[in-house]
C-alpha cells in the first residue's frame, strides 16, 4: 500500500505530465520544479523539449502504468508512435528534482534486493537500502559515499545506477552494504548559504558509521567506505573524523582542486562540441573561477559570482581542504581506482594520488583503459551523452573491489 507521501508524489508527477504534454501549460509545469532545478532550466526550455518530443513521438495519449523505486517514479506513457517511460524524481517537499525520458523498464518487485533502513543524522532522516547476505556473510559492510549534487542511493545517472550495480554484485559475494539518498536530494532546504562540504557529505557519513557501530546487530561488521568522485575526494577527510573505518575505496576521486577540474571540463566539452552556447558557458564559469581564486574572495562573496551558484561558505570549505595533504595521515588500507577515459576526473588526478602515496604499502592503484567516469565501458573520447546509454559497472572493477575488501 502506498503511503500518503508516496500517493502525493505519484499524483504530482501525473499532474505535471498532464500540464506539460496535454495542456501545454509550460509556466505551470515549470512551477513544479525545486528551486535548485529552476536555476538551471526555464519554461522556454520545457516548451522546446515538449515540442521536440511531439515531433519525434507524436501526441501524448495517456499513462499506462506507474511504478516507483525510492523517490523516482516511472510513468509508462503511450504516445502516437511509441511507448516509453517518463522518469520523475521528487524530494520530500514534493518538488521535482529530475525529469527524463527513457526506454520502458519492466518492474518485478519480487526481485528488488535489500530492505529499507532510515538513519537519523542530526535533524535529518537519511533514507537508504541495506543489503545483508543471508549466506556466506563475510561480516563486512560497505557504506557508499556519493559524488556532488543531489544524488539518490543508486547514484542514478539517466538509466545507469553504479552504486546499485556494485552493491548488488557484492551482496552476491557475501558483502553487506548501505547506500542512501543524499539529503541534498530529499531535503534540499537543509543545504543553505552557510553549508559546507562537511554539511553536504562528511557529517552524514560519520553519523552513519556511528549508527552501525553502536547497533548490536551490526557492531561486529568491518566498516569499509566506498566513495565516487566528490565522495572519493573526501575519503581522507572522513577517515580523519572516524577511527571505526577499516578500509577506503576511492573511485575517480579528484586530487586536484575542484575549480581546476571545472575549467578543464568545460574546455574539454567545448573541444568535443564547439557550440556558441558551450563557449559562453565556459567563459562565464572561468569568470566565476577568477572571482573564486582572487584575493578578494571571502565567505560573503555573492554566490551569483561563484561557480554553480554555490555560496562563499561552501567554496571556502572546498578551498580549505587538501586531500593530498590529509591522505598522508591515513593509516588504513586504500584502493584507488580510475577509468582512463574519464574526462571529469582524469589520469592526472590518479597519478597525483600514486605519487603522494608511493611509499604507502597499504595503498593500491588500478586504472582501466576503456572505462569512463561511471566505470562503464566505451570507445573513443567520453562525452556526457555516453551516460545516457544504459550500462553496468565493469565486472573487473567489481572483482577488484571484492578482492580488496575480502583480503584481511
What's the pLDDT tens digit per position in 284-302?
999 999 999 999 999 999 9
Round to whole Å and give the CA distance between 110 and 16: 29
| CB burial string 207-229: b at 16+ within 10 A, e below | bbbebbbeeeebeebbbbbbbbb
pLDDT band at 112 (very low <50, low <70, confident <90, very high): low
Q: Mean pLDDT lowest for which of 144-148, 279-283, 363-367? A: 279-283
pLDDT band at 346 (very low <50, low <70, confident <90, very high): very high
Residues with Cβ within 8 Å of residue 23, at least 6 apart in sequence:
none
Q: Is the pLDDT of residue 21 over 70?
A: yes
pLDDT in tens, 245-268: 999 999 999 999 999 999 999 999
Beta carbons of 78 and 58 less than 8 angstroms apart: no
Cell 541495506 belongs to 130
Q: Is the pLDDT of residue 1 over 50?
A: no
CA separation, residue 406 to residues 173, 224, 269, 336 (Å): 10, 11, 39, 16
Retrieve residue 35's grid coordinates.
Answer: 528551486
For residues 121-145, give the mean pLDDT. 94
Residue 186: per-residue pLDDT: 85
Round to whole Å and give the CA distance between 299 and 358: 36
Q: Is the pLDDT of residue 149 over 60?
A: yes
Retrieve residue 9's grid coordinates.
Answer: 508524489
Beta carbons of 202 and 238 less than 8 angstroms apart: yes
For residues 214-237, give the mean pLDDT. 96
Beta carbons of 316 and 258 less than 8 angstroms apart: no
Residue 136: per-residue pLDDT: 87
Round to whole Å and give the CA distance between 327 and 307: 26
pLDDT in tens, 364-397: 999 999 999 999 999 988 988 888 888 999 999 9
pLDDT: which is higher, 1 or 344: 344
CA separation, residue 282 to residues 258, 264, 279, 346, 382 (Å): 15, 9, 5, 19, 18
Residue 326: per-residue pLDDT: 98
For residue 280, count CB atoms less than 10 angstroms from its CB and return exposed for 0-12, middle for 13-18, buried for 19 or more. exposed
- When the candidates are 3.40.50.170, 3.30.413.10, 3.40.50.1000, 3.10.450.590, the CATH number that belongs to 4-108 is 3.10.450.590
Q: Where are the domains of the chain?
A: 4-108, 113-257+319-406
Retrieve residue 368's grid coordinates.
Answer: 582501466
CATH architecture for residues 113-257+319-406: 3-Layer(aba) Sandwich (3.40)
Residue 2: per-residue pLDDT: 41
pLDDT band at 56 (very low <50, low <70, confident <90, very high): confident
pLDDT in tens, 163-174: 999 999 999 999
CA separation, residue 75 to residues 14, 85, 125 (Å): 8, 5, 27
Cα 94 from chain centroid (whole Å): 20
Residues with Cβ within 8 Å of residue 161, at least 6 apart in sequence:
154, 155
pLDDT band at 6 (very low <50, low <70, confident <90, very high): low
Q: Is the pLDDT of residue 331 over 80?
A: yes
Question: What is the average pLDDT value for the chain, to the nearest integer?
Answer: 91
| Phi then psi dihedrals of residue 267, to 5 deg | -65, -40
Q: Is the pLDDT of residue 109 over 80?
A: no
Beta carbons of 332 and 222 less than 8 angstroms apart: no
Q: Is the pLDDT of residue 201 over 70?
A: yes
Residues with Cβ within 8 Å of residue 40, at least 6 apart in sequence:
none
pLDDT band at 233 (very low <50, low <70, confident <90, very high): very high
Instruction: Look up the pTM and report it.
Output: 0.76
For residue 51, count CB atoms less than 10 angstroms from its CB and return exposed for 0-12, middle for 13-18, buried for 19 or more. exposed
Amino acid at each position: 500500500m502506498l503511503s500518503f507521501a508516496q500517493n502525493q508524489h505519484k499524483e504530482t508527477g501525473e499532474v505535471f505530465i498532464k500540464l506539460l504534454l496535454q495542456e501545454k501549460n509550460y509556466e505551470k509545469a515549470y512551477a513544479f520544479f525545486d528551486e535548485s532545478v529552476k536555476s538551471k532550466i526555464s519554461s522556454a526550455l520545457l516548451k522546446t523539449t515538449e515540442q521536440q518530443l511531439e515531433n519525434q513521438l507524436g501526441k501524448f495519449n495517456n499513462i499506462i502504468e506507474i511504478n516507483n523505486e525510492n523517490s523516482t517514479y516511472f510513468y509508462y506513457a503511450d504516445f502516437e508512435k511509441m511507448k516509453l517511460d517518463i522518469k520523475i524524481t521528487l524530494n520530500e517537499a514534493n518538488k521535482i528534482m529530475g525529469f527524463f525520458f527513457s526506454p520502458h523498464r519492466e518492474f518485478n518487485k519480487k526481485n528488488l534486493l535489500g530492505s529499507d533502513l532510515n538513519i537519523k543524522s542530526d535533524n535529518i532522516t537519511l533514507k537508504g537500502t541495506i543489503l545483508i547476505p543471508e549466506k556466506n556473510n563475510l561480516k563486512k559492510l560497505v557504506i557508499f559515499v556519493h559524488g556532488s549534487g543531489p544524488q539518490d542511493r543508486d547514484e542514478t545517472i539517466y538509466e545507469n545506477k553504479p552504486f546499485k550495480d556494485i552493491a548488488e554484485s557484492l551482496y552476491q559475494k557475501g558483502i553487506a552494504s548501505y547506500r542512501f539518498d543524499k539529503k541534498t536530494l530529499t531535503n534540499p532546504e537543509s543545504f543553505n548559504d552557510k553549508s559546507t562540504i562537511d554539511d553536504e557529505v562528511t557529517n552524514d557519513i560519520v553519523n552513519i558509521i556511528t549508527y552501525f557501530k553502536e547497533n548490536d546487530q551490526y557492531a561486529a561488521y568491518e566498516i569499509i567506505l566506498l566513495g565516487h568522485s566528490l565522495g572519493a575526494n573526501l575519503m581522507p577527510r572522513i577517515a580523519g573524523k572516524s577511527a571505526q573505518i577499516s578500509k577506503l575505496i576511492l573511485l575517480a576521486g579528484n586530487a586536484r582542486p575542484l575549480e581546476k577540474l571545472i575549467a578543464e571540463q568545460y574546455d574539454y566539452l567545448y573541444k568535443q562540441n564547439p557550440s556558441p552556447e558551450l563557449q559562453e558557458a565556459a567563459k562565464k564559469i572561468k569568470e566565476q573561477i577568477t572571482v573564486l581564486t582572487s584575493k578578494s574572495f571571502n565567505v560573503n562573496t555573492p554566490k551569483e559570482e561563484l561557480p554553480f551558484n554555490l555560496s562563499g561558505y561552501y567554496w571556502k570549505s572546498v578551498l580549505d581542504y587538501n586531500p593530498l595533504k590529509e591522505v598522508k595521515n591515513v593509516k588504513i588500507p586504500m584502493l584507488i581506482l580510475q577509468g582512463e577515459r574519464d574526462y571529469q576526473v582524469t589520469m592526472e588526478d590518479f597519478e597525483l594520488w600514486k605519487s603522494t602515496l608511493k611509499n604507502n604499502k597499504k595503498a593500491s592503484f588500478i586504472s582501466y583503459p576503456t572505462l569512463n567516469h561511471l566505470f562503464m565501458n566505451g570507445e573513443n573520447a567520453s562525452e556526457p551523452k555516453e551516460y545516457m546509454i544504459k550500462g553496468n559497472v565493469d565486472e573487473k572493477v567489481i572483482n577488484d573491489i571484492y578482492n580488496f575488501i575480502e583480503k584481511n
